[in-house]
Structure 1
Amino acid sequence: MSGSRLLLADDHPLIREGLALAARVAMPELTIDSVGSIAEAEAAIARHKGYRLALLDLMLPDARGFSGFLRLQHALGEVPIVIVSAKQQPELIEAARALGAAGYLSKAQPLDETLGSLRSVLAGKTVFPPVNARVQADVGDARARIADLSGAQLRVLMALADGRLNKQIAGDLGVTEATIKAHLTAIFRKLGVNNRTQAILAIQPLLAEQADEAQ
């Protein structure tokens, strides 16, 4: 794993400070870029090259559910992203695993555990807390449904679940509305559904965060 920088995205200064401390102990050779939003993270990625790892809070002001994660995943490419969150619902943990996160850590865990987890990720491992078999089965089915989607199609699908219109999704991804419509046609075909509502229902176990925020 190469790279000389670490991206730390969290909108709470004290949490950022604590995570930065852990990161400096685990990875003293890395330069840490701390940001408070997805937009700031994207700007940092555009300015700098050579990220080795990203630590991401799901609950940033300009993100909903896993939308921020998918935006950073798109911007960072193969750079591993570890979610660090106060939310520990099993559905969220398994959804993060399904979407390709390198780990899911609790903000409440002791510093030494965080250090151990970060070192494991740097060694090429994934780090997730255990979840029950029912949740694994539910999310596993949703994961199987999205397995054939391309990265662009997955980003379109998650933006769709976030309630965004074709024009908005096109603007976010820097493509035309016609391209979004083509992606949607392919998404519906691959998921075996006929419309947006059915597509969202097909991946419902991956949308636990959105459902929580709507309540």
Structure 2
Amino acid sequence: MVTKMATALTRNRLMVIMAAPATSREITNMGLDRVPSGKSLPNDFNVIIEIPMHADPVKYEVDKDSGAVFVDRFMSTAMHYPCNYGYIPHTIAGDGDPVDVLVVTQFALPPGVVVRCRPIGLLAMEDEAGPDGKLLAVPVDSLTPMYRDKETPRDFPQVILDQIAHFFAHYKDLERGKFVKVAGWLGSEEAKAEIMEGVQRYADAKEKPAF
């Protein structure tokens, strides 16, 4: 289903371009690099989905120069992402990439879609490149009332938190020279701080990456 939806989105986009020839500026405006960080940061922010929930073990990553989503690697471990994985546009995390976000939803979201979210917590972790925390987020209440009572990671069943932490603790196990250390879950205030720090790094960057 995810593949069909993503294909349909791509075809619709191509049909628009073919039906009415556009200038390079107009085509650029249709790109994901034109998506703002959010409506009311840090409480309401946009997430561009890179990897759907339960997708095949393929790691995607946004390219800093073009803004396109590339295949980063085919994962060696036979593990599937426990929730949707994406990033907040126009942010820079401590590792130089955009701020990573784990979006909990009842359905898998296809790559390239934008979903408005609010912060729940932060999974503190580091890898071979340094600090690499992941925000935990849910869709804003206007998109679904399902998560209205979720304010902190503790509001989720412990098994969900354990599944997410376990995935990131082990998804690089079979890759030489790589490691991950998961420190644990932090609250929404730490998540909000991570967002605003990422926004500020992007604002301070002399050369803006295309994400």
> TM-score over 0.5 for the alignment?
no
TM, length-normalised to structure 1: 0.30
User: Which of the two has greater strand per residue?
Assistant: 2
| Greater RCO, 1 or 2 (C-alpha within 8 Å, sep 6+) | 2
